[in-house]
Amino acid sequence: MGAEDQLFERFGKAFAAGHVLFRDGEHGKEMFVIQAGKVRISKRVRDTEKTLAVLGAGEFFGEMSILNDKPRSADAIVDEEAKLLVIDPKTFEAMIRGNAEIAIRMIKKLAGRLQEADTQIENLLLKDHNSRVVHFLTSMAKNGKPEDGGVRVEITPRDLSQKMGLEIEQVNDVINKLVKAKLCRIVENGFLISDANKMREFLEFLEMKEKFGDIG
């Protein structure tokens, strides 16, 4: 039996797609590590359900309720049938104390989430949906995968719309404009940004247009 199987035998549970792991505001005393499948983290802002992240194998979530003993700050729903490790506070503390590598990985992951939160806040300050979509793709391109012909970012139009609280039609409209301008191409499970610098220049143009309006 492999290490992952041993962990699942001890701490694991299987969940069907659509299962609600926890809701915003609930008191929580456990965190989760994804062995397989996907989990969507979302939050309702006024009347809009906003996707904060779609997490896959190797990711963890729900740790803040263990670290600060406060209610959950978002919803967690199984997006694809998942195998999760369910870790209680005592086990979590033992893991951190006994393995420095786990602690370092967690610190790096939390730092990355703080940076992503800053990017989302910056994105929300933009009023025009064109600017918001371009800003989001430009931010993702910084950590994208270099490929022949550009940088690949893995996110679907559906995930883009949910993450930013926009209608799917608005997102597709912007994507079509970017494709027509040859700034990106649609590829499997994402987009290929042809030239990240030109994309940033286009974003600056949109931000200036939003700030000063059209000059007739």
**Domains in the chain and their CATH numbers?**
3-123 (2.60.120.10), 127-212 (1.10.10.10)
On whether the CB atoms of residues 52 and 33 are closer than 8 A, the answer is no
- List all residues 6 or more positions away from 195 whose beta carbon is below 8 Å from its beta carbon: 150, 183
Task: Give the number of residues written for the chain.
Answer: 216
What pLDDT is recorded for position 213? 64
What pLDDT is recorded for position 215? 47
Burial degree of 195 (CB within 10 A; 0-12, 13-18, 19+): middle
Place of tokens 């000059």: 215
Question: What is the model's pTM?
Answer: 0.63
How confident is the chain (216 residues) per 10-residue block, as mean pLDDT? 76 94 92 93 79 86 85 92 93 83 80 75 76 88 84 87 83 91 88 87 81 57
